Chain A
Amino acid sequence: MTQVTMIVNGDSRTASVPPETTLLMLLREHFNLTGAKLGCDVGDCGACTVIVDGKPVNACLMLAVQAEGRSVLTIEGLATQNELHPIQKAFEDQASLQCGFCGPGVILSAKALLDNIPDPSKQEIRDALSGNLCRCTGYTKMIEAIQESARVLRGGSADQAV
C-alpha cells in the first residue's frame, strides 16, 4: 500500500492504496467522487477527464501516486451550494447533454480551455473537445454552450448573440 495526499476540489485528501491504483479509481472508490466516469479505461473516450494542476487529463491513464501533492479538480468541485458553474448553466440552458455520460469530462475539458483561452474560436473548442467522445449530441450544442459560457465568464451579458 502507498499513501497518497493531494488537493481534491480545494481540500487536502489522503488515502492508502495499492500502487497500481489509477487516479480515476482513487477518486471514485476511495473519495466517493463518482462524477468522473469509467468508460473505455484506456484513454480513448475522455469520460474520466479531470483537471490536474490546470490541465485536463484522462484519470484512467494516471496513477494515483502521480497526483501526489498536486491539485485535482473534478466535476463535483465546480458548482457551489447555491449555483451551477457558468459552463454547467449554459449546458443546462442549451440542452447540450443528452444521456449525460460524457458530460463531466466534456465540461472539465471546456473549463480547462476557458481558463487558458477566455475567447476561443469554434475550431479551438473543437480541438479541446476532440478527446471526449459523445454518441448522442453531435457536439453541436456543446460548442454553442461553451461559446455562451465564455461570454458569461468574460463578464458579458448572457443574452448577447446566442
Chain B
Amino acid sequence: MKRRGRGIACMWYPIGFTVAANASAAVVKVNEDGTATLLTGTVETGQGALTVLGQIAAEELGVATDDVHVVSGDTDTTPMDTGAIASRTTYVTGNAVRLAAEKAKAILFEVAAPLLGVRADQLEARDRKIQVKAFPQRFLPIGEVANHAQLIKGQPAIGSASWNPPTVAMDPETGQGKPFNTYVYATQIAEVDVDDETGEVEVLRIVAAHDCGTAINPMLVEGQVEGGISMGIGFALQEEILFDKTTGRQLNPNLTNYIMPTSLDMPDIEVDIVDSYDPTGPFGAKGVGEPTSVPTAAAILNAIHNAVGVRIMSLPATAEKVLAAIKEKKGRQPKQISAA
C-alpha cells in the first residue's frame, strides 16, 4: 500500500570564503557607441554567470544588458579570477564587476559634469543617459559622453577593480575565526509516496524556498534550484558508486547501472525566492549554486519517516533499504494475539 509523507529540511551555506585569498578582478570600458565591454576571468558553465555579470555591469552603468559585451575565461586577455567554484561568482566576481563599472562611470560623470553645468556628484546613469538627478530632462547620451571623454578629454572611460572578501586569520589560541563573508539559507519540503510492500519511494512534489540575497536574474535562480533538486533526488534515492571490495574496481562505471534521475523521476517543483538584500553583495545578491542540492535528500528522508516511520541512515535510500527497515520495524512490534 502506498503511504504518503511530507518532510522538511533547512540549511545554511557559506558564500565567499575568507580563510585564504579569494579575489576576482574585472575591467569595464564604456565605448563611444554607448555599449560597454566587460572583461572577466570567470567561466560560463551554463549556470548563466556571464548573463548575471553583464546585468550587474549594465545596472551600474544605466544601460541594457544587451549593451554589455562580456569577454571571459581567456588568460591572454582577462583579469584574474579565483574561479567558477564555491558558489562565489555572483557574490565575489559580481562585486568586482560592479566596482569596475562604478569607476568607469565616475570618469563619465567627471566629463559630463561641466557639459551639463553641474557637479559630478549630482549626476546619475540611467536609460543609456548621463542625467542630472531629479532633472532627467538635462542629460547627455552615454555614448556621447564616452566619445567626448576619449576624443576631447583624452580620458577613456575604463574602470578596473578587484574584490577579495577580507581574509580573516584563525585565532591560534581559540581556533575561532570568520571563515566566510556571508551565508545563504534555504528550506525545502518534499512530499513522497512510499510503497510499504516494495520499499519504493516516489517524490511527488518539492517546494523550495531559497534566500540567495536579491536575485539578479530570477529565471536563472529557478534553473539552479531545479537542477540542484534533481541532483538531491539522485543523492537521496538513486546514485551510488559500487566498488568490488577485493580489487577496488568500480562495479557500475556507466549510466546503465549508475542510476541518475531522468525526466520520469522528477516531481513538480515550486521555487520561492525569498525577499532578501545583503549589503555586502552586488545589488544585494549572494549566491545560489551548490546550496540548492543541500537540503533535498534530508527533506526526502524525513518524508519517508513521516510516511512509514523508518529512519534511513545511509544514502541512497534504495527500495531494498527502505523495505528492510520497514520489515525490521514490523519485527520489533509485539504481535497482537486475539483473545478469540
Name A residues whose Cβ lies closer than 8 Å to a Cβ of B: 40, 42, 44-45, 94-95, 97-100, 125-127, 129-143
Contact = CB atoms under 8 A, between A and B. Distances in A.
Contact of B46 (A99, A140, A143): A99
Given A44-B256, A99-B45, A138-B230, 13 more contacts: A40-B255, A95-B48, A98-B45, A98-B46, A99-B46, A125-B263, A126-B263, A126-B264, A133-B262, A138-B227, A139-B226, A140-B269, A142-B263
A138 B262 contact: no
B209 interface: no
Nearest to B264: A130
Contact of B226 (A40, A126, A131, A138): A138
Interface residues of B, number: 24
Given A95-B223, A135-B260, A140 B266 contact: yes
A97 B266 contact: no
Contacts of A129: 262-263
30 contacts: A40-B254, A40-B255, A42-B254, A42-B255, A44-B254, A98-B47, A98-B48, A99-B45, A100-B46, A125-B263, A130-B262, A130-B263, A131-B262, A132-B262, A132-B263, A133-B262, A134-B230, A135-B227, A136-B46, A137-B226, A137-B227, A138-B228, A138-B261, A138-B266, A138-B269, A139-B230, A139-B263, A140-B226, A140-B266, A141-B223
A141 B260 contact: no
A132 B220 CA distance: 22
B255 A137 contact: no
Contacts of A137: 223, 226-227, 230
A136 B223 CA distance: 8
**Which of A44, A97, A143 counts the most chain B CB atoms within 10 A?**
A44
Given A100-B46, A137-B227, A141-B226, A95 B219 contact: yes
Given A95-B48, A126-B263, A136 B254 contact: no
B81 interface: no
B132 to A, nearest CB: 37
Chain A interface SS verdict (over half): loop
Contacts of A131: 262
B66 to A, nearest CB: 14
Contact of A141 (B222, B261, B264): B222
B227 A133 contact: no
Contacts of B38: none
Nearest to A142: B263
Contact of B223 (A44, A98, A133): A98
Contacts of A125: 263
Interface in B258-298: 260-264, 266, 269
Nearest to A141: B223
Nearest to B217: A95
A61 B175 CA distance: 58
A98 B254 CA distance: 22
A140 B148 CA distance: 48
A102 B107 CA distance: 45
Contacts of B256: 42, 44
A143 B268 CA distance: 11
A36 to B, nearest CB: 17
B322 interface: no
A43 to B, nearest CB: 9
**Which of B228, B260, B266 counts the most chain A CB atoms within 10 A?**
B266
B28 interface: no
A142 B231 CA distance: 16
Contacts of A44: 254-256
Interface in B48-106: 48
Contacts of A135: 227, 231, 260
B229 interface: yes
Given A44-B254, A138-B269, A140-B269, A98 B264 contact: no
A142 B266 CA distance: 12
Nearest to B266: A139
Interface in B216-267: 219-220, 222-223, 226-231, 254-256, 260-264, 266
